[in-house]
Structure 1
Amino acid sequence: MKDLFCTLSLFLGLLALPLPGRAQNPDSLLREAAARDQQVRMQLLEMNRRVNDGEYSAALVDSLVAAGAEMERIDRENMRLVASLLRDGLPEGLAAESYDAVWLIIDHAPLKEQKRYLPLLREAAGRGVISAYKLATLEDRVAMYEERPQRYGTQSYQTNVGGETVIYVWPVEHPEQLDSLREAIGTCPMAEYVRLLEETSGAQVVYDPALTVDSLKRIVGKKALF
């Protein structure tokens, strides 16, 4: 089961909104929003896998660009929905999958929105309505976007090295504790995560415990990674 959870977690971290006036409760709205989020990301994952497997064409590039733009549009619409639901704090009495959808949408939002709602998601984790793994994923993502080392090793950075796609596990602050920290949030050891990420992405995945944000910048050749 842990292997299955670890595999599914790769898709998490990895349609228009209902028409005005359509009567739907928050659970239904959030279920549809999460489905939109995952549908477009699965499409992008599949297209990226094809590129990493050596397939390349102008049509595929156009499809990638279009899917990326669609993902951004969906993310904006979904975040507007979540912001409206969280105006007065975290709602009580939602379905378990709805709290997961709230986390998912915030996890895919811009950094400003992630930081704004992180305290609410810490509260949700404290109440047990979202998992420790999901909270850890968001905390790691905020650290990455702020170009700080992550804690739990849930985030990665894709770049091009010598014409090949390479995915680096984002630098970790306490590599000697990493597997025990990952076990505490209910996910697999880093070696297993790397193996699964390579299988799903079709790209080389590098986890270097000694990697720092500055050394990653030198590898990528950028002063700012985001």
Structure 2
Amino acid sequence: MRFLLFALSLLPVCAFSQSKNILKHELDSMYVLDQRNRVWLTKLGNNQPLTDSLTTLYKVSRTKLAGALWTEQIQIDSSNLKRAEVILQQQGYPGKTMVGVPTNEAIFYIIQHSHKVDTYLPAVKKAAESGELPFHQYALMLDRSLMYAQKPQLYGTQIACRKVRASSASRCFVWPIEDYRNVNQRRKQAGLPLTVAENAVRLNAAYDPSLTMEIARQLYVLDL
């Protein structure tokens, strides 16, 4: 009888553990879908070798492959976001305690690639401040929120590609930074390993530390 009672007492624990494993596997799959086409598009943009099977799979020429990949990615992002919102509403942000590392970053990337950044920024902030998510991820999302609002960013993580007003060309540049003299100190505190200048080189973007929002509006067409 005692064994039966003990076994029954373990059922909720086992069910909870199984539920966490199911969620972890689901989030891992969602993250793969979030990243896969983006990795291919990056390679395509950098003229890196791609397997011929991609053009065969999408039944397009290499010149039209980017369009096909983005069309599919938009659909994936929409599906991922719908499921992510259900998870967030039912149980809050699934951090490392619930799903482990690096699965705890899956929802972050899905939100970061959506139009719901401002909606879920408080949940990401809470997760970061409680150690459930790396703090640098919150820094990236905060900067993106500020950029979308056409305000200077705090950590210098966001790159914008905009049309240059003086020509028909476009240029990628580091979005204006608030208090740029101390930005690398803030980056270090947030856990970002590279300086703004080093990150700009990595992303092949122009970096002018003194760029303000006023000057940026004169140089670029900022509205998307």
What is the TM-score normalised by the length of structure 2? 0.76
- Secondary structure class of the residue paired with 1:116: helix
Alignment of 1:46-57 (within 5 A): 46-50=43-47
- Secondary structure class of the residue paired with 2:67: helix
For residue 135 of structure 2, what is the aligned residue in structure 1?
A: 132
Alignment of 1:132-171 (within 5 A): 132-159=135-162, 166-171=171-176
Alignment match of 2:66 (pick from 64, 67, 88): 64
- Secondary structure class of the residue paired with 1:87: helix
> Which 10-residue stretch deviates more, 167-176 or 94-103?
94-103
Alignment of 1:90-101 (within 5 A): 90-91=93-94, 93-101=98-106
Matched, 1:35 2:32: yes
Unmatched 5+ stretches in structure 1: 1-23, 52-57, 199-204
Report the CA distance between 1:160 and its aligned residue: 5.0
Q: Which has the higher contact order (CA 8 A, sep 6+)?
A: 1
Alignment of 1:81-92 (within 5 A): 81-88=83-90, 89-91=92-94
- Secondary structure class of the residue paired with 1:25: helix
Matched, 1:115 2:118: yes
Report the CA distance between 1:218 and its aligned residue: 2.6
Q: Residue 82 of structure 1 aligns to which amino acid in structure 2?
A: A
Report the CA distance between 1:81 and its aligned residue: 1.3
Report the CA distance between 1:164 and its aligned residue: 5.8
- Secondary structure class of the residue paired with 1:86: helix
Q: Residue 201 of structure 2 aligns to which amino acid in structure 1?
A: R
Higher normalized helix content (fraction of residues): 2
CA RMSD of aligned residues (A): 2.2
Distance 1:59 1:170 in 2: 34
Q: Which has the larger radius of gyration?
A: 2
Answer yes or no: is the 8 Å Cα contact 1:152–1:178 preserved in 2: yes
Q: Which runs of 4+ in 1 moved over 6 A?
A: none
Distance 1:90 1:97 in 2: 14
Alignment match of 1:176 (pick from 171, 177, 181): 181
Answer yes or no: is the 8 Å Cα contact 1:217–1:225 preserved in 2: no
> Which 10-residue stretch deviates more, 81-90 or 134-143?
81-90
Report the CA distance between 1:219 and its aligned residue: 2.0
Seq. identity, %: 26
Unmatched 5+ stretches in structure 2: 1-20, 49-59
Report the CA distance between 1:225 and its aligned residue: 2.0
What is the TM-score normalised by the length of structure 1? 0.75
Q: 1:150–1:34: structure 2 CA closer, same or farther, 3 Å change rule?
A: same
The count of residues paired between Structure 1 and Structure 2 equals 187
For residue 217 of structure 2, what is the aligned residue in structure 1?
A: 217
Deviations along 1:102-160, whole A, 9 cap, x unmatched?
111111111xx211111111111122111111000000001111111100000001135
Report the CA distance between 1:84 and its aligned residue: 1.1
Distance 2:202 2:169 in 1: 19
